[in-house]
Amino acid sequence: GENVEQHPSTLSVQEGDSAVIKCTYSDSASNYFPWYKQELGKRPQLIIDIRSNVGEKKDQRIAVTLNKTAKHFSLHITETQPEDSAVYFCAASRMNTGFQKLVFGTGTRLLVSP
C-alpha cells in the first residue's frame, strides 16, 4: 500500500520568510496530492492540491510542486504570516479508482514568529 513520509516535523520561521515542507510517496500509481492545514483546536481543511498531470500549482502565497520521477511533492509558503502557524498534512491517493483512499503524512508543525 501507499506510504507517505513528511519532513520536517517542526519548522520555525520569521514572519516574511518562506517555508517549505516536503513529502515523499511510495506508490507510483498515486496521482492526487492534497495539502491540509489544521489550526490549533480546529479541523483540517484543504488548502491546495495537485494532480499528477501538472508539475506546479499556485494559489496566492502558497504553491505545490510535484516530481513524479522522484515521487516527491512539496508545499511552499512565501511571505509567511503569523496566521500561517498550524500543522500541515500532505496526502496521496489514486484518483482513477472507484474509491479514493487518502494516505496522510505525519504532519509538520509550522510556527511563524512575528
- Give the x-and-dash track for 41-60 against another protein (CB under 8 A): -xxxxx--x-----------
Spatial separation of the C-alpha atoms in residues 10 and 114, rounded to whole Å? 17
Three-state SS for 84? Answer: helix
Judged by beta carbon, residue 4 or residue 77, the one nearer another protein is 4
Binding residue (CB under 8 A) for another protein from 57, 63, 104, 111: 104
Q: Which of 62, 107, 110, 112 binds another protein (CB under 8 A)?
A: 107
Instruction: Kindly indicate which of the ranges 13-21, 32-40, 61-69, 75-83 contains the residues binding another protein, using the contact rule CB under 8 A.
Output: 32-40
User: Cα–Cα distance between 110 and 87 in angstroms, integer?
Assistant: 6
Task: Determine whether 71 is exposed, middle or buried from the number of CB atoms within 10 Å of its CB (0-12, 13-18, 19+).
Answer: middle
98 Cβ contact partners less than 8 Å away, ≥ 6 residues apart: none
Minimum distance of another protein from residue 6's CB (angstroms)? 7
Contacting positions for another protein (CB under 8 A): 1, 6, 9, 32, 34, 36, 42-46, 49, 89, 93, 95, 98-107
